[in-house]
Amino acid sequence: MSTAYQIVVCGSLVPDPLQTLEPVTGPGGPALKNEMMLPAVLDPWAAHALYEAANLARLTPGSKVWLVSLGPKAKLQQVMMTVAQKVPFELVALDGPASGFTEAAEVAAVLAEAIQAIPGLDRSKLLVFGGWESASRGAGATLSMVGERLGILDQFQGVDQLKVGADGTLEILERIEGGRHQLSRCAGPPALLGWATGHLPEPKNNPQVGMTNMRTVMPALQRAKAVKLAGEGLTFASVALPKQLRETKIVKDASPDDIAKEVVAWIKQ
């Protein structure tokens, strides 16, 4: 039985991982030095979710993909010029901070509100995708709170694979402790999946897909709703880069057992 899905992907922007990030404390709280000048990319975990959503929509005729993204409008436009060439989707843009110093509960609230406002949304067909983790909002809690606000009880985190059965049931491979996987089955939508790395490679750029997407991306950016996250009750004692510690010791002719003992002793320190 083939079921058309309405797949909503939650994904934000992060600074390009090749850039050096320096946290600073400003009048508005913690931030990154020259943050608006840093080149941005779609969050890697969210990107996996988007590619998996597009693949599921391709395999299931009649399905549609939305990308709900919260970030500065100028940065969203910059990133969408590249992302739009990867897979077909419709953008729902929110003009607001994409910093890792925002409160997960507030971010979840505005994302859930944006999802509920999508015209013609059918809960019986709804799948919410997103990153299990994030390169900026690494709390691992935002997506689950989005699901709670939408009343979605079937939630799966650390997903690596999704298969749709002949009867429409969802078979989900998700990561659990100890480097193992758990196979779960869900009767069908609505469901929420927080993706890990998945199994799909990054799609090649397709200019035709990009041109089609940009017809809706640009209007979506123009009517992007301004979002202000108050951060009430949220305080930071300090922000700083992790300290680097490197101790190098060169020893010749040491046995593996001696090396192992020395490593264990160093760790215990």
DSSP structure string for 142-171: HHHHHHHHTT---EEEEEEEEEE-TTS-EE
Residue 266 lies in a domain: no
Rounded distance, CA 29 to CA 25, Å?
6
- CA distances to 86, 185, 246, 255 from 250, rounded to whole Å, are 48, 53, 13, 13
Residue 262 lies in a domain: no
CATH code, domain carrying 174 = 3.40.50.620
Split the chain (269 residues) into runs of 10 and give each run's mean pLDDT: 83 78 70 74 88 92 91 86 89 83 82 91 91 72 88 90 88 86 89 86 88 89 81 65 72 85 85
Please report where in the chains the tokens 């030095």 appear, as a residue.
33
Closest CA to 164 of 197, 147, 189: 189
Residue 232 lies in a domain: no
> What's the pLDDT score for residue 149?
92
Residue 253 lies in a domain: no
Residue 261 lies in a domain: no
> What's the pLDDT score for residue 52?
92
Residue 206 lies in a domain: yes
Q: What is the pTM of this model?
A: 0.80
> What's the pLDDT score for residue 139?
62
204 CB contacts (<8 Å, ≥6 apart)? none
Q: How many domains does the chain have?
A: 1
Can you give the residue range of the structural domain that contains 161?
A: 6-226
> What's the pLDDT score for residue 179?
80
Residue 52 lies in a domain: yes
Rounded distance, CA 175 to CA 128, Å?
18
Burial classification of residue 225, based on how many CB atoms lie within 10 Å of its CB (0-12 exposed, 13-18 middle, 19 or more buried): middle
> What's the pLDDT score for residue 234?
63
Residue 134 lies in a domain: yes
